């Protein structure tokens, strides 16, 4: 395993910027009057269980250090605070003794300052022996049988069937863009935008499942650099909603799917995500049927829910040769029921979602159980300050991967990735083709 540094990603970003667009650098968060800095006394924000952590806090307004009182709370990752305290910033700085954990995990230091009548907040998480984190989610004995049958039934019900319509407004001399409608099984379809080089040849295929939510594919050309670098990319949705719907019509449809991650969770056969996971494999069926596929490289790439679906697809389909993911969701979903940290969609926030029946179903859909089964290489990125897909669950997934794996860990990141990181993932894929 090797860890790609943030410096490398910066260099890739700089190279991309010089080649394609001019970007004006900004030192502060966009149009923010204030800046917090939180610097742990270990440069990588990581400690061994039992080691004590200290964080230096700085608060600036208009770039000027401000003396003020900062209230802080300490909590285990995503759990209720167990300690409150205050520090006074002198010349805009102070140190907070965070303490330690005697078991693997993350501590979150949550900060609040009232300056000139406005309350400003910030937080920072540090890890303790996270390489030893393990999930509590059970591994069902019939997990593989369930998914093999699910995929077999879908293919039996619905042979490969799709339509492709060229979208002129997204096509140019270098790339062609198509709107694809793909049948998943007898009752479900999904839509996708497919971009590929106009030049005849054989190319790797890249499937990109979506992040969570009910949304259309609004920016199909945001990652057009995949096609411009010799790859076929399929950016899909999961709800069967045509991205060419008007905004008014889309609003009417959206309400029907607003709670889709809860739907049918009492029974593994009826859970909404069953056909979604199946759709990702059917998308691989489609991509590998294209005449332009190079016959060797099949990549899945995505973030959050899309990161989860990318890992899931890699586990379900051995044609996948590389999985590239950001902060995967749907991981250790029942963790809260066992007194620990859980992952998105954080079912603990809703009443009646952590029943024995639902927890049993979750095990068949949890990324940690798919991670156990992945054999292809994985390149994974995550941050520590993420409260959507927390670092605890990211490490649980990472620790279960048994095949070749590389990571880019960006501690400061919350639930986002930079353009540089996303472009760097394309570069990584390009450099690891067969």
Active centre residues (catalytic): 304, 386, 415
In whole angstroms, what is the distance from residue 129 CA to residue 106 CA?
Answer: 9
CB 122 within 8 A of CB 111: yes
CB 85 within 8 A of CB 72: yes
In whole angstroms, what is the distance from residue 215 CA to residue 237 CA?
Answer: 8
Phi, psi of 11 (to 5 degrees): -65, -40
In whole angstroms, what is the distance from residue 365 CA to residue 331 CA?
Answer: 9
Q: What are the C-alpha distances in Å from 377 to residues 108, 330, 423?
A: 31, 20, 19
Q: Is 347 left (phi over 0), alpha (psi -120 to 50) or beta?
A: alpha
| Tokens linked to 295 | 């016959």
Q: What are the C-alpha distances in Å from 295 to residues 68, 298, 325?
A: 62, 8, 22
In whole angstroms, what is the distance from residue 378 CA to residue 223 CA?
Answer: 20
In whole angstroms, what is the distance from residue 375 CA to residue 21 CA?
Answer: 38
Of 382, 415, 413, which is closest to residue 399 (Cα–Cα)? 382
Reported in sequence order, the residue ranges of 237-385 that DSSP labels E, i.e. its strands, are 293-303, 322-326, 378-382
Contacts of 143 (CB under 8 A, 6+ apart): 363, 364, 369
283, burial (CB in 10 Å: exposed 0-12, middle 13-18, buried 19+): buried
In whole angstroms, what is the distance from residue 91 CA to residue 2 CA?
Answer: 40
Helices 6-20, 419-431: inter-axial angle, 10-degree rounding: 100
């Amino acid at each position: 395993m090797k860890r790609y540094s943030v410096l490398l990603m910066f260099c890739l970003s700089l190279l991309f910027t010089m080649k394609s667009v001019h970007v004006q650098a900004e030192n502060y968060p966009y149009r923010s009057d204030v800046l917090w800095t939180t610097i742990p006394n270990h440069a990588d924000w990581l400690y061994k269980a039992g080691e004590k952590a200290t964080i230096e806090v700085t608060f600036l307004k208009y770039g000027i250090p401000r003396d003020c009182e900062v209230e802080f709370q300490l909590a285990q990752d995503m759990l209720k605070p167990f300690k409150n305290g205050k520090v006074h910033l002198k010349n805009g700085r102070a140190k907070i003794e965070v303490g330690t954990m005697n078991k693997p995990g993350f501590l979150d230091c949550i900060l609040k300052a009232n300056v000139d009548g406005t309350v400003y907040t910030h937080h920072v998480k540090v890890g303790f022996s996270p390489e030893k984190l393990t999930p509590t989610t059970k591994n069902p004995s019939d997990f593989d049988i369930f998914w093999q049958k699910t995929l077999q039934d879908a293919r039996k019900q619905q042979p490969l069937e799709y339509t492709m319509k060229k979208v002129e407004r997204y096509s140019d001399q270098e790339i062609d863009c198509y709107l694809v409608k793909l049948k998943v099984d007898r009752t479900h379809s999904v839509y996708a935008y497919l971009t590929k080089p106009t030049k005849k040849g054989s190319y790797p295929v890249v499937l990109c499942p979506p992040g969570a939510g009910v949304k259309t594919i609004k920016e199909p050309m945001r990652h057009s650099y995949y096609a411009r670098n010799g790859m076929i990319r399929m950016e899909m949705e999961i709800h069967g909603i045509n991205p060419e719907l008007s905004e008014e019509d889309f609003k009417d449809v959206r309400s029907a799917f607003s709670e889709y991650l809860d739907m049918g969770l009492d029974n593994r056969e009826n859970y909404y995500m069953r056909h979604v996971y199946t759709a990702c494999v059917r998308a691989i069926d489609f991509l590998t049927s294209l005449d332009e596929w190079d016959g060797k490289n099949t990549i899945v790439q995505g973030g959050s829910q899309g990161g989860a679906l990318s890992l899931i697809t890699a586990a379900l389909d051995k044609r996948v040769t590389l999985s590239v993911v950001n902060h995967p969701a749907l991981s250790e979903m029942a963790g809260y029921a066992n007194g620990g940290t859980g992952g998105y969609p954080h079912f603990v926030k809703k009443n009646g979602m952590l029943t024995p029946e639902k927890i049993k179903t979750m095990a068949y859909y949890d990324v940690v159980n798919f991670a156990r089964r992945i054999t292809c290489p994985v390149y994974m990125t995550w941050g520590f300050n993420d409260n959507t897909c927390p670092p605890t669950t990211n490490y649980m997934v990472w620790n279960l991967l048994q095949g070749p794996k590389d990571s880019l860990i960006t501690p400061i990141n919350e639930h986002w990735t930079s353009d540089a990181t996303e472009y760097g993932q394309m570069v990584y894929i390009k450099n690891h083709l067969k």
